[in-house]
Amino acid sequence: MKDKGIRNNLFSSFRFALSGIVRAVKKERNLKFHLIISSIIIFLGFYYQVSAVNWMMLAIAMGLVITMEMMNTAIERVVDLVTKDFHPLAKEAKDIAAGAVLVAAVVSVVIGLIIFLPKIVDSLF
């Protein structure tokens, strides 16, 4: 009996997590943007036949940006739940979370340039 309860809890956890992902994709414009960019990167990866190591780096970079965007959204929601009024700490929390997304995005762009720029230059010349 105990195993069935664990299985149901595990299933529920995955269901809740999937629900959160779907909700974030539906409601967050920036997350949609990141998913579109990720789709383009995946297409370019296949087009330029990047190595397995490069795929791993791209997957980590894309996953990091999407994860940070979702964490940023969660932090914004919690701050908005706690206070509707302006508070310097609320602003700071939101700005720091947004900054984390920016850092992840910049690192991802650098990784993308390192991987794709030589391939694009080679294909042009």
Catalytic sites, residue numbers: 69
DSSP state of 49: T
CA separation, residue 31 to residues 21, 23, 34, 69, 105 (Å): 10, 11, 5, 6, 12
